[in-house]
């Protein structure tokens, strides 16, 4: 499978702000995340379309209920810009742009009937692309269906579409507290002036923000780059939350670091950063095994093309190298 094929089935999409960062640096850390490249030539025979096994927990279209108290709602199926390492890149061509038009009523009904849900993840695609009135209506209905749950609004919006982070957008989020904004950011170069202004609007609006990042081979797989990113985020009032191992999805093998390399990078990062500036290192186990904190203790052994990982409940999973 080559990158020309990936260009056809997962076309490039790059926003104005990202283009302003890339400029002519076509081999830089931001360009490598968003421009189709030779990284997509590399393949892994064990890679799959749905590495997280979300299909096993899809209660209805766009609603994933993997953990007892957490529900993920797809608000949109596309993004302002498409990350080449996206773990949902294989399903973009199968979706319409929005989930909400067809599924909002069923989302509300599900949340109204299940009183065990305490955590609602709003994701996509990226919900930042939604029309503000549709977003206002949707969040209000979700909040009314479950007044107490914490909402996590997961987005790369401050980077990909910073002009969308307006005062009106911030007010919509404030109307639906308790709510946390989860900002996906992978490299210090992504924090340009437009991104910083968008994040400042969230901060001024008293919206709590945390970050999640993906460890990417040849992009940020260096403890000094990560330390710089997380320290800068902390100075902005953003708590580094998760650092994820990249998932074993078809077409993304060139972005994935080896599991033991990831642990070594994280070990060196812990020396540079501590406490608030240190996110948790996490990996999503294949086949719907869920998210676990990645430590040397849970990695049992390495075989030719997979690791054995033991989850806290004792179940052992094969994790592709």
Q: Tell me the domain boundaries of the chain.
A: 3-296
CA distances to 50, 104, 288 from 285, rounded to whole Å, are 11, 29, 7
Q: Which CATH number fits domain 3-296: 3.30.260.10, 3.40.50.620, 3.40.50.2300, 3.20.20.70?
A: 3.20.20.70
Q: Consecutive 10-residue runs of the chain (321 residues): their mean pLDDT?
A: 67 95 96 90 67 66 87 91 88 59 90 94 93 95 97 98 98 98 98 98 98 98 98 98 92 91 97 95 89 94 91 92 83
Q: What is the pLDDT of residue 288?
A: 82
This model's pTM is above 0.85: yes
Q: Say how far apart CA 117 and CA 111 lie, in whole Å.
A: 7
Q: What is the pLDDT of residue 144?
A: 97
Q: What is the pLDDT of residue 219?
A: 98
Question: Which position has the token pair 């911030």?
Answer: 170
Q: Report how many helices (DSSP H) and strands (DSSP E) the chain contains, helices first.
A: 10, 13
Q: Say how far apart CA 25 and CA 228 lie, in whole Å.
A: 20
Q: Say how far apart CA 229 and CA 157 lie, in whole Å.
A: 17
Q: What is the pLDDT of residue 1?
A: 44
> Does residue 61 contact residue 103 with C-beta atoms inside 8 Å?
yes
Helix runs in the chain, H state only:
3-9, 16-22, 31-34, 100-113, 132-145, 157-160, 167-174, 193-204, 223-235, 259-272
């Amino acid at each position: 499978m080559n990158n020309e094929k990936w260009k056809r089935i997962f076309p490039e999409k790059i926003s104005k702000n990202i283009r302003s960062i890339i400029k002519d640096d076509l081999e830089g850390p931001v360009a490598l995340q968003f421009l189709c490249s030779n990284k997509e030539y590399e393949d892994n025979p064990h890679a799959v379309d749905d590495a997280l096994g979300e299909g096993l927990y899809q209660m209805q279209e766009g609603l994933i209920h993997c953990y007892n108290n957490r529900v993920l709602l797809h608000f949109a199926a596309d993004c302002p810009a498409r990350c080449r390492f996206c773990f949902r890149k294989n399903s973009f061509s199968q979706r319409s742009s929005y989930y909400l038009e067809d599924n909002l009523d069923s989302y509300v009904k599900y949340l109204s009937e299940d009183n065990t849900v305490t955590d609602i993840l709003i994701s996509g695609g990226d919900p930042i692309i939604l029309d503000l009135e549709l977003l206002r209506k949707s969040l209000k209905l979700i909040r009314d269906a479950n007044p107490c749950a914490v909402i996590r609004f997961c987005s790369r919006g401050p980077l990909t579409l910073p002009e969308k982070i307006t005062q009106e957008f911030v007010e919509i989020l404030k109307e639906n507290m308790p709510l946390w904004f989860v900002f996906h950011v992978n490299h210090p170069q992504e924090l340009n002036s437009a991104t910083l202004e968008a994040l400042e609007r969230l901060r001024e609006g008293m919206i709590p923000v945390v970050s999640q990042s993906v460890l990417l081979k040849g992009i940020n797989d260096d403890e000094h780059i990560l330390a710089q990113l997380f320290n800068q985020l902390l100075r902005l009032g953003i708590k580094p939350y998760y650092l994820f191992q990249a998932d074993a999805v078809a077409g993304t093998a060139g972005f994935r670091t080896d599991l033991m390399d990831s642990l070594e990078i994280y070990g060196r990062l812990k020396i540079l950063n501590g406490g608030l500036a240190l996110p948790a290192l996490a990996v999503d186990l294949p086949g719907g095994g869920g998210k676990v904190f990645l430590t040397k203790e849970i990695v049992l052994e390495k075989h030719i093309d997979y690791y054995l990982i033991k989850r806290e409940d004792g179940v052992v999973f094969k994790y592709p190298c």
